[in-house]
Chain A
Amino acid sequence: MDCRTECKADFSHTFDVLVIGGGNAALCAAMTAREAGARVVLLEGAPKDFRGGNSRHTRNLRYLHETGNNHLTGPYLEDEFWDDLMRITGGQTNEPLARLIIRQSANVAEWMKRHGGTFQPSMRGTLHLARTNGFFLGGGKALMNAYYATAHKLGIEILYDAEVQDLEIFDDTFIGGSFVLQGALKKVRAKSVVVASGGFQANLEWLKEYWGDVADNFIIRGTPYNKGRMLRVLLDRGAKPVGDPRQCHAVAIDARAPKYDGGIVTRLDCVPFGIVVNKNARRFYDEGEDFWPKRYAIWGRLVAQQPDQIAYSIIDSKSLDLFMPSVFPPVVSDSIGEMAVKLGLNPAAMEETVGTFNQSIRPGTFDPTALDDCVTEGLEPLKSHWARPLDTPPFYGYPLRPGITFTYLGVTVNERAQVIMQNERPARNIFAAGEIMAGNILGKGYLAGFGMTLGTVFGRIAGREAARHAIGSFTERS
């Protein structure tokens, strides 16, 4: 049955498995459950053109592998994977779950390929992840397209524009749910449910509960459909929360980005090569603390703490070719004063900031590929690497705002992906996968390509367990 255009799915009977969400974790769960023999319905809240949640903006997946292959340049083993995860989370993780994900990610690319996924060999745009992360040919949307085609072929009933409103949960057991389809409220019943509907980062009202009006100046990098409705419903119905509700993964991105869904292109990699000032034309943090890929995630928070949540990165012509091209053209000027005017800042303050900065630079050997010795002296805050005077016009300016990638608050799960209730008992037939339970493993920070790993592994676990609960047996077909 083609549910992609016009669904004739019969909602009067009880499905085996209901999957809520339409991104990577949801599809992995749905395909796994369906291959085990369950009757599966998947409700995607977004319209078809925007299906796939934040997975449509991803590009790669980190997975365990003992040898290199046609798209990875070398081995990536458990100890290194674990160390990487420990380093970025600072130990704020659930070790059994984290190790489960790492181990079950072993050669997961083979499973993905059997379900339509394709990978590309490492090229110029694959950053420094060519050994650890498999890059999807064409990126995450291409992968989602392939998964939807496979899910359709498997006979999963897929509905778009189907936003689940509420879940009926009684005695830690899921009974049914209601959803809106083309303006009409409908009921759905299933023997088990997989909730894989993402976090709440696109819900500004919710973000404001923690951030206040500051959140009005946040840009949401991903899908506008992750409003966290299912997260709120699960928490209200007794699920045990996990993760710091105040925290979100925020990076500094181009302030001219669209409010939602700007994705990868809004990133700016120029920060380490110049100075960053706030709206008072004052520097506020060490721009050269470390390589940008290791620092971009703290800059979202730094900018969020500045007045009006705005900042400006300024470089001169010496540095223009040192970073990935930006999607929006820089503001160009022949003098620092003119730059200040064009950015709406105080020219005198800006000239003073740049003058002091330029005078404090100790001579060194500039090297953008290393933590070089170009440092400032007697300047507060310090710039500890790549400090070169801004003295060669034209000057280039980029406005920065906090760009929110995801939120950390989620529901607690066990190793079977069962949602844990506040009484510490696992819900019998409620499973969660993907961003909605990422907080179990990612207490803070983020490891490139790990969201897709987590979604794939836990999506498959949730699909397997949901099918096992619904039809009493489980045999994975492939």
Chain B
Amino acid sequence: MPSAALLKEAERIMVICNACRYCEGYCAVFPAMELRRTFTDRDLKYLANLCHDCRGCYYACQYAPPHEFDLNVPKTLAGLRLETYRDLMRPRALRDLFRRNALAVSLVASLSVTLVVLFTLLLRGSAVFFGVHTGENAFYQVIPYLTMVLPFSALSLFILAGLGMGTASLWREMGGKPNELLGLRANGQALWDVLRLRFLDGGGYGCNYPGERFTMFRRYLHHAVFYGFLLCMASTALAAFYDHFLRLPAPYPFWSWPVVIGAMGGIAVLTGTGGLLYLKRLMDRRPAVPQSLGMDTCFTVLLFLTCLTGLLLLALRETPAMGLLLALHLGLVAGFLITMPYGKFVHAVYRYAALVRNALEQSQN
């Protein structure tokens, strides 16, 4: 459970906001708030996950600190959101491990990179590791096929299970019935909201990030990460299809679909994460929770490094650096995958669940 103090503070601010309502044009949180007169813990967790942290309501707030009401909506909701993330991490044994999120994620990622590099080096020998490999199956000469496919398939199942269980729990915690989560219309609306990143547009003028000025920067950068990530996934899926069904093993020529799509995705993620990290450095800390800074930064850096090594691998795959880059890249991918259900990535599925709930209740009212 999120701490009682945090829930109480979230309730306090929502009661004040509900008597004011000046911010209702910014996002989905305030119209959802207006459907209620009182706020249960379930409502508050839902509203916290519905908040996209655009911060319009912080700068517009006549009650923001130093006013005696001391209203800080984005910070309070971000704190509560972070606690729901922690709360829903499964298995529970790992939850405490990831409490100090930045430390844990960095450790897991570093360990994963080290292990992959060391094992490859030890098992394949330095001649193979630092050799030049070209042509069909070049990657598998460094890391054999099954060693690559089996662990990653297992990892993917683990992540899907973790995220799925977390989403189902959150859905219950937000007061939803299981069958509602599968409603076609609500999912359609939520998907449309996600694809446009509708609620980072602050009513049409962008979010107040990194500072007071309205700007679309963050929304566009987030789009770059989102669509870039999807392209990378598509490239991986396509490569798997080529490999398994067309019997065309990697590496693929530069002008092939998996490479073009993957390279585009990688560049987009690199730009997006780089830009987001830059903005985070500049950002006004007042509407932010300090505890989430580590989690956010770690996740973004890990994504950045994963794509960077992927692109370098593409550029240098015909040089002796290929073995090392492949091991680095796969180590980072593994680290990213392992930490997915325990870090910032969960916001993607949890916010989606909140948007489905929002679509449902707005259509019912």
**A265 CA to B63 CA, complexed, in Å:** 10
Q: Does A301 contact B (CB under 8 A)?
A: no
CB distance from A263 to the nearest CB of B (A): 5
**What string of 1s and 0s marks CB contacts (under 8 Å) between B18-55 and chain A?**
11111111100001001001000000000000000000
In the bound complex, residues from chain B placing their C-beta under 8 Å from that of A388 are none
With most chain A CB atoms within 10 A of its CB, the pick from B15, B21, B59, B205 is: B21
A149 with B213: CB separation less than 8 A = yes
Report the nearest A residue to B59, measured CB to CB: A145
A70: nearest residue on chain B (CB-CB)?
A: B204
- How far, in whole Å, are A304 and B205 apart by their CA atoms in the complex? 44
B62–A139 CB distance below 8 A: yes
Q: Which of A49, A124, A329 is the one whose CB lies under 8 Å from B24?
A: A124
Contact status B60-A138, CB under 8 Å? yes
In contact, A120 and B203 (Cβ under 8 angstroms)? yes
- Decide if B56 is an interface residue (CB 8 Å cutoff): yes
Most central of A49, A124, A135 by chain B CB within 10 Å: A124
Count residues on chain B whose CB falls below 8 Å from chain A CBs: 33
CA distance A264 to B16 in the complex (A): 10
Q: Which of B18, B59, B68 contacts A325 (CB 8 A)?
A: B18
Does A264 contact B37, Cβ atoms closer than 8 Å?
no
In the complex with contacts A261-B67, A263-B62, A325-B25 CB distance below 8 A: no
Establish whether residues A124 and B34, one from each chain, have CB atoms under 8 Å apart when the complex forms: yes
Q: How far is the CA of A225 from the CA of B52 in the complex (A)?
A: 35
- A141 lies within 8 A of B60 (CB): yes
Number of A-B contacts (CB under 8 A): 93
Give CA–CA (A145, B18) in the complex, Å: 22
Q: A123-B25, A124-B31, A138-B26 are in contact. Are A265 and B20 (CB under 8 A)?
A: yes
- Residues of the B chain whose Cβ atoms lie less than 8 Å from the Cβ of A138: 22-23, 25-26, 56-57, 59-60, 203
Does B243 count as interface, using CB distance less than 8 angstroms? no
Residue of B with least CB distance to A116: B214
A121 at the interface (CB under 8 A from B): yes
Complex CA gap A323/B23 in Å reads 19
Q: Is A57 an interface residue, CB under 8 A from the partner?
A: yes
Closest to B212 in A: A145
Contact status B24-A123, CB under 8 Å: yes
| B21 CB contacts on chain A under 8 angstroms | 124-125
B61 CB–A CB distance under 8 Å: yes
Cβ 8 A contact of B23, one of A139, A258, A321: A139
Interface: A371 (CB within 8 A): no
Smallest Cβ distance from B21 to chain A, in angstroms?
A: 3
For the complex, count residues of A whose C-beta is within 8 A of B: 33
List B158-215 residues whose CB lies under 8 Å from chain A.
203-205, 212-214
Query: Which residues on A sit within 8 Å (CB–CB) of B37?
Result: 320-321, 325
Please classify the interface of chain B as helix (H, G, I), strand (E, B), loop, or mixed, using the class held by over half of its residues.
loop
Interface membership of A154, Cβ < 8 A: no
Does the CB pair A324–B19 fall under 8 Å?
A: yes
Mask for A243-269, Cβ within 8 A of B = 1, else 0? 000000000000000100101110100
B62 with A121: CB separation less than 8 A? no
Chain B residues whose C-beta falls within 8 Å of the C-beta of A125 in the assembled complex: 21-22, 24, 34
**Known contacts A137-B205, A265-B19, A327-B19; is-contact A123 B60 (Cβ 8 Å):** no
Q: Cβ of A140 and Cβ of B62 under 8 Å apart?
A: yes
Q: Which residues of A contact B19 (CB under 8 A)?
A: 264-265, 267, 324-327
Decide yes or no: A141 and B25 within 8 Å by CB, A264-B19, A265-B19, A326-B19 being known contacts.
no
A62 within 8 A of B: no
Give Cα A142–Cα B21 distance, bound, in whole angstroms: 13
Task: Please name all residues of chain B whose beta carbon is closer than 8 Å to the beta carbon of A326 when the two chains form the complex.
Answer: 19
Does A59 belong to the interface (CB within 8 Å)?
yes
In contact, A258 and B15 (Cβ under 8 angstroms):
no
Residue of B nearest to A258 (CB): B68
**Please, which residues of chain B bring their CB within 8 A of the CB of A123?**
24-25, 31
Give the Cβ gap from B24 to chain A, nearest Cβ, in Å: 5
| Bound-state Cα–Cα, A436 to B63, Å | 25
Whether B15 contacts A325 by the Cβ 8 Å rule is: yes
Write out the residue numbers on chain A whose beta carbons fall within 8 Å of the beta carbon of B62.
56-57, 139-141, 261, 263-264
| A118 interface residue per 8 A CB criterion | yes
Q: With the chains together, A103 CA to B121 CA distance in Å?
A: 82
How many angstroms from the CA of A138 to the CA of B157 in the assembled complex? 44
* B156: min CB distance to chain A, Å: 43
Task: Give the shortest distance, in Å, between B272 (CB) and chain A (any CB).
Answer: 26
**How far is A233 from B62 in the complex, measured between Cα atoms in Å?**
29
Residues of B within 8 A of A59 (CB): 22
Q: Which residue of A lies closest to B25 (CB)?
A: A120
Contact B16 A327 (CB under 8 A): yes
Chain A residues in 8 Å Cβ range of B151: none
Asked if B91 is at the interface (CB within 8 A of a chain A CB), the reply is no
Q: Which B residues are in CB contact (< 8 Å) with A50?
A: 66-67
Count chain B CB atoms within 10 A of each CB in A50, A261, A263, A325 and give the residue with the most: A325
A125 to B25, CA, bound (A): 10
Q: Are A142 and B59 in contact (CB under 8 A)?
A: yes
Kindly list chain A residues whose C-beta atoms are within 8 Å of the C-beta of B23.
138-139
Q: Which 3 A-B pairs have the closest CB atoms?
A: A138-B60, A120-B25, A139-B22
Please report B residues at the A interface, Cβ cutoff 8 Å: 15-16, 18-26, 31, 34, 37, 56-57, 59-69, 203-205, 212-214
Q: Can you name 21 A-B pairs with beta carbons within 8 Å?
A: A50-B67, A118-B203, A118-B205, A120-B25, A124-B34, A125-B21, A125-B24, A137-B205, A138-B23, A138-B25, A138-B57, A139-B60, A139-B62, A145-B59, A149-B213, A320-B37, A324-B19, A325-B15, A325-B18, A325-B37, A327-B20
Name A's B-contacting residues (CB within 8 A): 49-50, 56-57, 59, 118, 120-121, 123-125, 135, 137-142, 145, 149, 258, 261, 263-265, 267, 320-321, 324-327, 329
Further contacts, 15 of them, CB under 8 A, given A125-B24, A261-B62 = A49-B67, A120-B24, A121-B25, A125-B34, A137-B203, A138-B56, A139-B62, A141-B59, A145-B212, A149-B212, A258-B68, A264-B19, A264-B20, A265-B20, A329-B15
